A and B are shown apart, each in its own frame.
Chain A
Amino acid sequence: MHISPVLWQFLVKWLNASALFPREASTIAPYADALYFFLLLITVVGLVLVGVLVFGFSIRYRKEKHPVAVQVEGSTLLEATWTIIPLALFLIVFVWGALLYFRIYNPPTNAMNIYVVGKQWMWKAEHPGGQHEINALHVPTGRPVQLTMISQDVFHSFSIPDFRVKREVIPGRYSTVWFQATTPGTYHIFCTQYCGTNHSAMIGEVTVLSPDDYDKWTQESTSGMSLAQNGERLFASMGCNACHSGSAAARGPNLAGVYGSKLQLASGSQVLVNDAYLRDSILNPSQHITAGYAPIMPTYQGQISEDGLIDLVEYIKAMQNNYRVQQTLTTSQSNQAAPTTPGTVKP
């Protein structure tokens, strides 16, 4: 799908200068704007049409001009026309909107992953390399970035208007959103779901850097420990390695390579091991017994923070990462890897 470049560039440049229009700073933005203009167009046309009819008839048939009304039953032909034309237009909008939705919510497989935890009232971002940020996010241009998000308390919603992306951040489940930034600069991050007292202060800033600047930034702001390394420490301190030692005699299954595989459960069903599954089986182990093991794992509910869970998940992923699990919105019940969408992959 390509948008006529010349006219488009002109329109967008002009609008950007007018301050009535958000900047276009991601690869998605032009697509969203195209649909927006189409919708604006049909709205204006519809409104003008209604206006012309109402004012036209009002002038033509006002009482002074037309003292006696002529009674008309209706007209099947006319009524069919104004049923079918709006229906057709709305169906076009539906298909267009759906294509855009899939484009926005299906991340490409090669996206780099950043975790975001929403809590009253801040955004915490965690990069796999161990960089932590609060109400800030640094990303490079030209690379798809996927955010894996979870809320620690209430509903929040992560929105970057200049990228035209937004996704609800939900307690108890991971949701994801992805984007590919195009223009270095800083842009607002808003929390758009009302979340209590300081809702309107839950604002952050995403800083888009050129790839070189981004590399510099990652090196300068590392805490020295990657998420996986933090996770490894937790894994030892919470006693996970007592059972998941990887040896044949261990009481729990070996976790190396488990991420991204399909696991046979004691209940007979199969699950895809993704972030959500890992999180859930740490919190509710008795509900996910791997075939061949006894239900002896204790629950860690209430003992590990969302940040800690992210570290553990990253650690387990890193144990032997055979392939990436692509996810849009995951619960531990979603056992299908999302299909790859070739059109959206830009390596």
Chain B
Amino acid sequence: MSATHTIVNLPDQRTATLPKRNYLNNEDGLLSWLFTGDHKRIAILYLISITFFFFIGGAFAGLIRLELLTPQPDLVASDTYNKFFSMHGIIMIFLFLVPSVPATLGNFLIPIMIGAKDLAFPKVNLLSWYLYWIGGLFTMAALVLGGVDTGWTFTTPLSTHYLNTHVVTAATGVFIIGFSSIFTGLNFIVTIHRMRAPGMTWFRMPLFCWSNYAASILMVLGTPVLAITLVLVALERLVGIGVFDPTKGGDPLLFQHLFWFYSHPAVYIMILPGMGVISEVISTFSRKRVFGYTAVAFSSVAIALFGFFVWAHHMFIMGVSNYSALVFSLLTMLVAVPSAIKIFNWAFTLQKGSITFETPMLYAFGFLGLFTIGGMTGVFLGALGMDIHLTETYFIVAHFHFVMVGGMLMAFLAGIHFWWPKMTGRMYPESLSKLAAVTTFIGFNLTFLPQFILGYLGMPRRYHAYPPEFQVLNVLSTAGATVLGVGYMLPLLYLGWSLKYGAIAGNNPWQATGLEWQIQSPPLTENFIETPVVDHEAYDYEWLAHKTAQEVTTVG
């Protein structure tokens, strides 16, 4: 494909400059950032923070894979290995995946997309970033003081009675981070309800807002349960209240119920905002309304609501009664349906489009493939008898990495590339970014496809050493992880480079319809000088063509 086919219509690079006044240069100095109430600046703060934690979590992933290169426990001692995967899980889940899209892209875009000047509670928004960091520091403290080896699940009685590591410190960290996500969720819900511009009805709202709205419901309703569970763990550990202790009449299965009551919805907190990104990207680069907009919008909400009723599918082998297992399996099959609907809706959005293959689109295609595999392997695990064999093996590891890393991280990268010109006013280098997308996709599959086979062969997860017959597949997986690591490093480098040297992007490099593309890049602190009045649907390309033609005639 030659460069002339790209749809990017950049301003003339010899004369173009960034807008003189924008949210980045509006005020100077570190303090103006640390005390900002601007949702866009907070988004940038989050972006830097989660990137930092992502690479720390990634370093642990690298160490894990390196250890698993050989069947012998030769790189580190088992305690150390256990701390590695615990830190990897805790950091990736709570400090990266949960806040990733909502706190960065959501924060930046939701007010603009609905035509508002900021979120409903700017100070709460800033507070939630500080809570994120306080929680992050507790987690880091647990790490620096010697680590924690509970796994990210904090399972009792292991965590409460049998470990001498920094469980309470790490749990405190997660507890605090939880409030950060509750506040973000609340802020989004109130903003979307109360601050839409005139004419921005619910059904003119971009799907990105819908999916973040759905995720926010989950954050607000689910996270308190996690908080309670962690408090109980801490109390059990510190004063031995005994709610989870069978010798005191408590029940360790209660912990499992409480924990998964949060953690299952949490996976939807992680994936739903990513789905929103995919809707935006696919629509823009095929220049079409999302096929079955209403179905896609409602399926987000359906996933959110049904997501609360399937937690026990993490416990099929743990002694839920056979009959409740039946119910939870059935409900699990039912929540799989809205995801399937979305995949086909995205695919059919391409039909009769006018498609170009920009970097965000490549990531979105990657998402479609990986998320389909991730979703279908979820059906394996929802099927009762099959789950018995597969659960707690590498099949699980592969499954959730396909959904969360293959799905969510692909979506995150798609979104970052897509909105990068808006956030920074500059373009990233085209061919490098495509290379990164392809590298990530290949590396990802090489890493995690072998793990499905390992899982069916029976290799348990969280194993530091393993029987030698599993080695070949583990070596493949480690090789893949190396490629994947390169795929993740590339954007870090060229996006950093583009901040200074990237081409000036102009307001609407993709010719997209969203309100965020109708304002300058980077935006003004107040987003809109006048509150916009919305008179068209989301993804209305005819409106856009009309508008552009008008602008041309007025200018000419």
Contacts and interface: CB of A to CB of B under 8 A. Distances in A.
A66 B354 CA distance: 5
B430 to A, nearest CB: 16
Interface string A48-92: 001101100110011110111111111100110011001100110
Given A79-B295, A82-B340, A86-B337, A96 B289 contact: no
Contact of A159 (B253, B460, B465): B460
Interface residues of B, number: 94
A190 B392 CA distance: 10
A100 B386 contact: yes
Contact of A58 (B334, B357, B389): B357
B300 to A, nearest CB: 15
By secondary structure, the B interface counts as helix
B333 A94 contact: yes
Interface of A: 19-22, 31-32, 35-36, 39, 42-43, 46-47, 50-51, 53-54, 57-58, 61-64, 66-75, 78-79, 82-83, 86-87, 90-91, 93-94, 96-106, 120, 153-155, 157, 159, 161-162, 164-168, 170-173, 175, 188, 190-201, 203, 284, 301-302, 328-329
Given A43-B380, A71-B289, 9 more contacts: A36-B456, A39-B380, A57-B351, A73-B289, A75-B291, A172-B251, A194-B462, A196-B149, A198-B78
9 contacts: A35-B383, A63-B354, A74-B295, A90-B333, A101-B316, A153-B157, A159-B392, A192-B393, A200-B460
A53 B457 contact: no
A323 to B, nearest CB: 22
B394 to A, nearest CB: 10
B278 to A, nearest CB: 12
Contacts of B295: 74, 79
Contacts of B252: 155, 170-172
B466 A200 contact: yes
Contacts of A104: 385, 388
By secondary structure, the A interface counts as mixed
Contacts of B289: 71-73
Nearest to B256: A155
A97 to B, nearest CB: 3
Contact of B379 (A90, A165, A168): A90
B40 interface: no
Contacts of A199: 78, 82, 462-464
B158 A102 contact: no
Contacts of A78: 344, 348
A164 B322 contact: no
A175 B319 contact: yes
Given A97-B329, A200-B462, A75 B246 contact: no
Contacts of B337: 83, 86-87, 90
A155 B348 CA distance: 46
Contacts of A67: 354
A57 B383 contact: no
A68 B333 CA distance: 39
A287 B343 CA distance: 54
Contacts of B340: 82-83, 86
Contact of A96 (B153, B318, B344, B383): B383
Contacts of B286: 61, 69
A322 to B, nearest CB: 26
A167 B329 CA distance: 17
Contacts of A162: 458
Interface string B424-450: 000000000000000000000000000
Given A94-B382, A100-B385, A103-B385, A74 B354 contact: no
Contacts of A190: 458, 460
